[in-house]
Structure 1
Amino acid sequence: MTDDVISALSGTPVADMARWLAEYDINGLPVVDAEDRVLGVVSATDLKRTQGAASVGDVLTAGAVMSTPARTVRADDSVVRAARLMSTSGMERLPVVDEEARLVGMVTRRDVLQIFARPDADIGDEVTDDIVVRALWLGPESVDVSVTDGVVTLSGCLETSGAVAIAVWMTQQVDGVTGVVNRLTSQHEAPYRRPA
């Protein structure tokens, strides 16, 4: 995250915020109260919507145009959580807050992509070496691991369904993994029984 964050107060005029976005080459900024608690976010899109909306002499402020409630991540949240929130919300920037919801930084889509920008081969090697061999104590040929654009596909047959669940969960935690396709089966699956 970036800890040098440009923020606005509720009373900050829209004209000032528009100038800051251009000056600092950013596309949004958080709106905070006097104690730095995040109240909302103003994006470049929010500012464009306000053009021509105010009557002559009116001064639009951050409080009037901000999106609320603010979607934030905690400083101790995982990068994966931030990436998922950005993906589902369509946001390019997320305020990072402490346990009291005070602004401590900003994480951008670019920040997140740098973490996930690992070569597929490196991700595949880590999954095979650290999970299949070291964690599950299997031979590297026991699970076929293929990676395309950060999406890991696991194929093969493990001894138990618990081992399958562990393999999938651990793979999801690997830096650079954006998704897991589970094609693993288990030797000792409970047989399917129709409900009576």
Structure 2
Amino acid sequence: MGGGQELPERMEMRTVVKHRTVGEVMTSEVVQAHPDTSFKELARLLTSHRISGLPVVDDDDKVMGVVSQTDLTRRQATRGRSRSGRGRVLRALRRVGHVHPTAPPALTAGGLMSSPAVTVHPEQRVVDAARIMERRHIDRLPVVDEEDRLIGITTRRDLLRVFLRTDEEIREDVAGAVCLHGPAHDADRLRIEVRDGIVTVEGAAGPEINTTALIRAAWRVDGVVGVVNRLTADRRDVSSLPPGGL
């Protein structure tokens, strides 16, 4: 799907490619905890809601940290816990969730959470949030407003929905982005191919095309996982000079 094609003439219109934002894909109803939430209650929240982590907020709804299944099972799990499946982890949480009422008070969200929390704002692009998750090795990002108050949460699953796009859909958006970085008659000579989210741009780029900006624009299209630059310089002006040059 999405084999190489010449840019269509309709792409001469300078439309700006729309990027999905975190605010469009986030979940607004967030399961959350407070610093004094007990170990037992944390385990109950994770298992009953079938989630792998939740944010910890203060009395002003500002995010202090995040508690995950790993945080709760770290003290009980063996060194091989990273190889255990989700079902095994959930079973372990159910067991530790029934701890005796006199469990140490230090086992609270405030003592178990990972802090500071990595957060995003609703206006940030989905692709940027996905890259943050990949770079920080995390599965969820609390979404905060301009005052850092919790307003939602986004997960890898939420972001994945944006990247489940066909190669042809991606190619059309890349073609539109390419047309923003050079005259239409120059951009039309370029070829764009998309396979499995990897974009290949090839052809002779005229002097009026900003190839660096063009490649960056391709990277910014939702669903793009890689860009191959096979652009070459357009030598027509040079070849038309008389022998000996100017």
Is TM more than 0.5 here?
Answer: yes
Counterparts of 1:118-137 in structure 2, within 5 Å, are 118-128=165-175, 130-133=176-179, 136=182, 137=184
SS in 1 for 2:230: strand
More RCO (CA 8 Å, sep 6+) = 2
Q: Does 1:47 align with 2:94?
A: no
Q: 2 CA distance for matches of 1:63 and 1:127?
A: 45
- Give the superposition deviation at 1:184: 1.9
Q: How many residues align?
A: 187
- Give the superposition deviation at 1:141: 5.7
- Give the superposition deviation at 1:22: 0.8
Contact 2:181 2:213 in 1 (8 A): no
* Identical-pair percentage: 44
Q: TM-score, normalised by structure 2?
A: 0.69
Structure 2 counterpart of 1:9, one-letter code: H
Judging by fraction of residues, say which structure has more strand: 1
Q: 2 CA distance for matches of 1:64 and 1:161?
A: 58
1:9 alignment partner, one of 16, 31, 34: 34
Contact 2:67 2:114 in 1 (8 A): yes
Contact 1:161 1:185 in 2 (8 A): no
Tell me: CA distance 1:161–1:85, structure 2 relative to 1, closer, same or farther (3 Å): farther
Give 5+ residue unaligned stretches, structure 1. Answer: 189-196
Contact 2:144 2:150 in 1 (8 A): yes
Corresponding residue number in structure 2 for 1:150? 197
Q: 2 CA distance for matches of 1:100 and 1:133?
A: 38
Q: 1 CA distance for matches of 2:203 and 2:72?
A: 52
- Give the superposition deviation at 1:121: 1.9
Structure possessing the higher radius of gyration over alpha carbons:
2
The 10-residue stretch of structure 1 (130-139 or 118-127) with the greater mean CA deviation from structure 2: 130-139
Contact 1:132 1:143 in 2 (8 A): no
Structure 1 counterpart of 2:55, one-letter code: P
Q: Does 1:171 align with 2:234?
A: no
What's the CA shift string for 1:62-92, capped at 9, x where partnerless? Answer: 0111111101111111111100011111211
Tell me: CA distance 1:186–1:140, structure 2 relative to 1, closer, same or farther (3 Å): closer
